[in-house]
Amino acid sequence: MRFIKCRQKPLLLLTTILFETAVTFGRQAAPPVPQTDTTTIDPDGTAQITRLVPVPGTISPEAQKFISRQVPSTAGTGGLPERRKATDAFRIGRAAEARRLYPVNVEEQTIASVRCDVITPLKIPDDKRDRVLINVHGGGFVTDSGSLVEGIPIANLTETTVVSVYYRLAPEHPFPAAVEDTVDVYREMLKKYKPEHIGLFGTSAGAILTGEAAAEMKREGLPLPGALGIFSGTGDLSQAGDSEALYTIFGFGGAIEPPSKKHESGAYVGKTDPKDPVLSPLYSDLHGMPPTLLVSSTRDLLLSGTTILHRAFLRSGVDAQLVVFEALPHAFWYDYQLPETKEALNIMADFFNAKLSR
């Protein structure tokens, strides 16, 4: 049962604690709720809804169990130091699991004065040595939840080197610091690789940053990458999408806040106009953008942002593909045990293999 008149702060919440919190509280029984459905539409269009939402039979048994775990109403809250500490623990544990499932070599390097991890498959076919993927991690722009977690599986599955960028974080370094770091690393890659053999991808904050970096590359007149991967993101930090009023990073669980028409992008935006065409690429000229794969899911709080950006790409004539998974929450592919995760990772890998081989 869900009473819906709320929204989340997607950029200030931690994708990273999604899975650990769900596991921790998975054994707790849900409190009883009335089994009724009601809908009231306010004069301004605000919907006040109570719905009974069953676990769908359209997803794997593992996914059914995953979304059935109980999440406390305080999940995702807490101060930034605590969040970063929790994120670090999550990232280390999940990266170790990634290396076990998807063997690779990892070497820390400094590229264009930016700390990076260079993730190299154990074997790279000769026809894939002339290409590289750049990963920008998730974590709400204030933490690092996805470096290695995102890059390791893709490096293994594509048999392609991945450079994972540890861009500067907010609030210490608001926009455009992360964009600058990403573009600087890209410039270095251009010295070794043809642009059509370079891919850029990320999840959550990294998905947003992927679009922003591409917009900045275009603004500067740089040759654009051969492919983009925007995995649960948005191109508009000026306003919230409909899905942000329905879901948290946990889907139907976790902390909720009063509804707002504004997109709560937190310390990352800083003093920048939220409609700045690099900060919010939806307001930029998207013509000529690289082939792009967008991935989301039906209980993803950034589902709206992902689909709106996809339509904007299509209107601009971009080769843009959208894949939406059933019933799963934000960035579910961080959990490697789900059959849907394996499917999603293979879709991502196949996309890059196809687009960077042209």
> Which pLDDT score, from 0 to 100, does residue 13 have?
39
- Surface-to-core class of residue 331, CB atoms within 10 Å of its CB (0-12 exposed, 13-18 middle, 19+ buried): buried
DSSP 110-126: EETTEEEEEEEES---G
> Which pLDDT score, from 0 to 100, does residue 10 have?
39
> Which pLDDT score, from 0 to 100, does residue 262 have?
52
Measured CA to CA, the distance from residue 73 to residue 253 in angstroms comes to 7
> Which pLDDT score, from 0 to 100, does residue 26 have?
41
> Which phi and psi angles does 77 have, rounded to 5°?
-100, 175
> Which pLDDT score, from 0 to 100, does residue 3 have?
38
> Which phi and psi angles does 228 have, rounded to 5°?
-125, 145
CA nearest 303: which of 343, 279, 345, 332?
332
Provide the residue range defining the domain that includes 84.
2-355
> Domain with 15 in it: what CATH number?
3.40.50.1820
Instruction: Using the Cα atoms of residue 299, residue 302, residue 304 and residue 309 in order, give the sign of their dihedral.
Output: negative
> Which pLDDT score, from 0 to 100, does residue 259 have?
56
Number of domains in the chain: 1
pLDDT in tens, the chain (358 residues): 343 443 334 343 334 334 444 433 344 445 555 567 888 999 988 888 888 889 999 999 999 999 998 887 666 566 888 888 888 888 889 999 999 999 999 999 999 999 999 999 999 999 999 999 999 999 999 998 778 999 999 999 999 999 999 999 999 999 999 999 999 999 999 999 999 999 999 999 999 999 999 999 999 999 999 999 999 999 999 999 999 989 999 999 887 665 555 555 678 999 999 999 999 999 999 999 999 999 999 999 999 999 999 999 999 999 999 999 999 999 999 999 999 999 999 999 999 999 998 7
- Surface-to-core class of residue 90, CB atoms within 10 Å of its CB (0-12 exposed, 13-18 middle, 19+ buried): buried
Q: What is each CA distance from 181 to 49, 169, 184, in whole angstroms?
A: 43, 10, 5
> Which pLDDT score, from 0 to 100, does residue 169 have?
96
CA nearest 176: which of 219, 146, 123, 147?
219
Instruction: Using the Cα atoms of residue 309, residue 315, residue 316 and residue 317 in order, give the sign of their dihedral.
Output: positive
CB 270 within 8 A of CB 174: yes
CA nearest 152: which of 106, 114, 185?
106
> Which pLDDT score, from 0 to 100, does residue 334 have?
96
Measured CA to CA, the distance from residue 255 to residue 232 in angstroms comes to 19
